[in-house]
Structure 1
């Protein structure tokens, strides 16, 4: 029997089976991955590109899809200015192309319905991707413990998964969603405006009661600021899981 860690460390040749737009700057890429060992919501993969001259480069991308029985996974990739890998994935990649992947990686940020104590989720920009995997997994499992998502985007056009998030709210299974826009909001915008702070977190009941599991993902300064606010509000630092990314768009 192959050890799960050993299986995750193997590079696999994945086939691109679908590409769809999420926003003007983001695409979801669906891969068929032979012998995929399965994943938990919140985990990520390494993706490696190799040029004809042998030059290689790799990036880590969160898995957007919920765990399923088949060998397909989805990655949602934001176009990063001058991003070596994201530029290739946006401009060159086509259905039928082959890409090297390994994973799944990272159990620290993973979520399973077997340990559902309620969820508080805070996303900044493309940091929504692993949190979307968690929400999809939660819906798939029929979980009903309360889950709240506070999602910060620059503008309405930058919101990932808009229609699907609305459908998840409509399930009326304890999931509530609040958007905040930091740059431009339309007239009669029903959500929040501005950056996430302690007052906004408190207004939307991101409070310690019930000892919920907390996941925060986004750019490094965003994640650090939100985590500091949550601790100041009384949350245990040990229950706040964080994942962040830098200018390259790579998670760490």
Structure 2
């Protein structure tokens, strides 16, 4: 499930508030001299899960990600705030599509788990983009859900390596009322343009993008 560049965190949260798929948590690290560093991480778990699941990408020199990936141990107590976000959330009722890339697949995982838990997997379609099967977080789970997974640097028996095309995306938009885009700033811009090329109105597209942090 995690990749060589990511680590999965499963956390117990006291008095945890219910969350909607698409929301995120803010994790804050505090040094003995009270210096703090914080980062936001999307929730991967469904609200019915007794633990909160986050996926952390290990970034070279990343203050928070390197600590969470290399230093944190079972039993450590972390400062957290959440769940956060209202706009980039799915109500598990509206027919929706997730067009996600890299670690941006995490909200799509939360949405797919919520859809399965509600007995409504047909309401959600997912097109995920990764470099290769080994570098795509939750690759196996995405495929089990029925997602379309494309690789930019890995050819398969059915398609060459490369980003998804309008021809691949268009059939997934039939009947869709809402599209969620999540990934790097570059990916988000390309994905949003591709959705509009396929005829989706900008008012139907919700974008969450992220960039590298030091």
Which is further off, 212-221 or 223-232?
223-232
The equivalent residue for 1:227 is 192
The equivalent residue for 2:151 is 181
Checking the alignment, whether the CA contact within 8 Å between 1:121 and 1:148 is kept in structure 2 is yes
Alignment CA distance shift 1:233-1:165 (3 Å): closer
Matching residue within 102, 115, 120 for 2:97: 120
Q: Distance in 2 between matches of 1:106 and 1:93?
A: 26
Q: Distance in 2 between matches of 1:94 and 1:69?
A: 21
Q: Within 5 Å, which residues of 2 pair with 1:41-56?
A: 41-56=21-36
Tell me how large the CA RMSD over aligned residues is.
Answer: 1.9
Q: Deviations over 1:33-56 (max 9, x none)?
A: 111111001100100000111110
Uncovered stretches (5+) of structure 1, i.e. residues with no partner: 1-20, 170-176
Q: Distance in 1 between matches of 2:123 and 2:14?
A: 36
Bigger Rg, structure 1 or 2: 1
Q: Deviations over 1:102-149 (max 9, x none)?
A: 010001111122xx2322111110000011100000000001434321
Please tell me whether residue 195 in structure 1 is matched to residue 163 in structure 2: yes
Q: Distance in 2 between matches of 1:30 and 1:69?
A: 10
Matching residue within 12, 18, 22 for 2:2: 22
The equivalent residue for 2:61 is 82
Matching residue within 130, 134, 142 for 2:111: 134
Shift of 1:196: 3.0
Checking the alignment, whether the CA contact within 8 Å between 1:180 and 1:192 is kept in structure 2 is no
Uncovered stretches (5+) of structure 2, i.e. residues with no partner: none
Alignment CA distance shift 1:69-1:135 (3 Å): closer
Question: Which has the larger share of strand?
Answer: 1
Checking the alignment, whether the CA contact within 8 Å between 2:24 and 2:82 is kept in structure 1 is yes
What's the TM-score, normalizing by structure 1?
Answer: 0.79
Q: Deviations over 1:49-89 (max 9, x none)?
A: 0011111010010011011274x211011111221111111
The equivalent residue for 2:71 is 92
The equivalent residue for 1:61 is 41
What's the TM-score, normalizing by structure 2?
Answer: 0.92
Q: Secondary structure at the match of 1:210?
A: coil
Alignment CA distance shift 1:74-1:192 (3 Å): farther
The equivalent residue for 2:178 is 213
Alignment CA distance shift 1:191-1:137 (3 Å): farther
